[in-house]
């Protein structure tokens, strides 16, 4: 378990920023890490497997498995040369880790993209970011300075919550709308233009580059057996100095909050894993940031975000704000999203308002959560269900008062966390 006192060896992805408050150009990047070694897919996958790298985009899927799946499909599907996609579309409104990484360490991401493309024999390497992303010009300039075998191309994607889901991204790059589709087939089997496609989060590819440069043993010097290496965590809410920090896997929730300056006012709960994550009570502050530990605490690591909720507002009211946003951001392609999420949001609002029909709304809500969970075309409705269930658990005392019609001064508070396209 890592505490705030054990973080001096965690400066890897953002080493240049921690060292001198600047970012490395290509020459400085090469001085820091050396030239990128050329590895075949077997060699790269073996290194990544030994390192224990898991995806940093939310699902935590083993990266070596994805590499091998794309390579195997490329062999079976003749003339279907693989494509490699770096997903820098940060659809999670609470997170800024990918934007910070691309701003401060673009060449680590581009090294990872190049290493994967070379290993897989790909002829197309695509870096996706959202339309209107600040620093887009600097990112394209960084790409232009490189001489990779497969030059990366930067593609902008509509700024919507579900547009960065991997099947939505593959669809958009294939000329279709940026909407999720049912799986299988997965991108490794049939991705961009029907070709085997590796889609990895930009932080995952940056770690892949570090492993290629420095080896798996070096990579494992930070983190835990469940989550080796470091991770970027976004903090927000009622903290003195929120932002993005790089910490070893296994760092406790408490330690990350201390890095963000600690609470600026009394805190009652922490929202972890983004808006499709879960609420944690303050009794979970000692939880390490690993996949297993977060599951045991009733949450998920997801996109690593920790948002501190002050005691002056109602947790159920804030959850209702988030669910309104999630319902509005769905692709609207399946029943759980089109009908289930708006209905759940309506029930939650009835509870928050403490109306005479709140007990009936609570009973409907419980039924609807069970009906929606696991039945969507993508994971979007599942995340929304997880958020609401955690709110009903963590704020159970508030729920009891709402169902009895007791007043709640904090229920009328505006949304504290970022909701794109809405008043904050």
Phi, psi of 232 (to 5 degrees): -95, 130
In the predicted model, what is the mean pLDDT of the chain? 90
* Res 424: pLDDT: 25
Confidence tier at 91 by pLDDT (50, 70, 90): confident
* Res 250: pLDDT: 96
Three-state DSSP state, 28: helix
Phi, psi of 300 (to 5 degrees): -150, 150
* Res 422: pLDDT: 36
Is the Cβ–Cβ distance between 128 and 89 less than 8 Å?
A: yes
> Which residue ranges form the domains of the chain, and what is each CATH number?
35-219 (3.40.50.11540), 315-412 (1.20.1440.230)
Summarize pLDDT for 8-36 with one digit per residue, the tens. Answer: 457 899 998 888 888 889 999 999 999 99
Q: Which two structure tokens, joined as six digits, stand for 120? A: 């897989």
3-state helix, strand, coil in the chain (%, to 5): 45, 15, 40
In the predicted model, what is the mean pLDDT of residues 181-203?
89
* Res 376: pLDDT: 66
User: In the predicted model, is pLDDT for residue 1 greater than 50?
Assistant: no
* Res 126: pLDDT: 98
Is the Cβ–Cβ distance between 60 and 301 less than 8 Å?
A: yes
Strands (E), 218-366: 230-237, 244-248, 267-272, 278-281, 305-310
């Amino acid at each position: 378990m890592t505490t705030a006192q054990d973080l001096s060896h965690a400066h890897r992805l953002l080493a240049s920023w921690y060292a001198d408050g600047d970012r490395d150009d290509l020459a400085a990047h090469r001085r820091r890490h050396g030239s990128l070694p050329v590895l075949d897919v077997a060699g790269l996958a073996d290194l990544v497997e030994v390192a224990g790298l898991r995806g940093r985009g939310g699902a935590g899927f083993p990266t070596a498995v994805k590499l091998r799946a794309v390579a195997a499909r490329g062999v079976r599907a003749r003339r279907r040369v693989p494509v490699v996609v770096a997903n820098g579309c940060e659809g999670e409104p609470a997170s800024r880790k990918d934007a910070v990484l691309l701003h401060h360490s673009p060449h680590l991401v581009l090294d990872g993209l190049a290493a994967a493309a070379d290993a897989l024999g790909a002829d197309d390497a695509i870096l996706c970011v959202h339309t209107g992303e600040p620093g887009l010009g600097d990112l394209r300039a960084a790409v232009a300075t490189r001489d990779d075998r497969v030059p990366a191309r930067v593609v902008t994607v509509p700024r919507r919550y579900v547009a960065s889901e991997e099947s939505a991204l593959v669809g958009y790059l294939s000329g279709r709308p940026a909407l999720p589709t049912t799986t299988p087939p997965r991108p490794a089997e049939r991705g961009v233009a029907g070709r085997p496609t590796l889609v990895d989060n930009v932080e995952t590819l940056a770690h892949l580059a570090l492993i290629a440069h420095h080896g798996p043993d070096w990579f494992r010097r930070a983190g835990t057996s469940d989550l080796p290496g470091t991770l970027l965590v976004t903090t927000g809410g009622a903290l003195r100095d929120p932002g993005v920090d790089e910490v070893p896997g296994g760092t406790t929730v408490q330690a990350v909050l201390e890095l963000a300056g600690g609470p600026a006012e009394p805190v009652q709960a922490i929202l972890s894993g983004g808006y499709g994550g879960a609420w944690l009570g303050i009794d979970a502050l000692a939880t390490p940031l690993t996949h297993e530990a977060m599951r045991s605490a009733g949450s998920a690591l997801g996109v690593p975000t920790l948002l501190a909720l002050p005691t002056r507002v109602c947790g159920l009211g804030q959850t209702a704000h988030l669910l309104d946003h999630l319902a509005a951001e769905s692709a609207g392609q399946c029943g759980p999203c089109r009908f289930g999420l708006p209905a759940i949001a309506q029930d939650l609002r009835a509870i928050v308002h403490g109306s005479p029909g709140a007990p009936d709304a609570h009973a409907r809500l419980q039924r609807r959560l069970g009906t929606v969970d696991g039945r969507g075309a993508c994971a979007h409705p599942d995340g929304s269900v997880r958020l609401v269930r955690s709110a009903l658990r963590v704020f159970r005392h508030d729920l009891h008062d709402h169902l009895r019609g007791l007043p709640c001064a904090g229920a009328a508070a505006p949304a504290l966390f970022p909701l794109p396209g809405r008043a904050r």
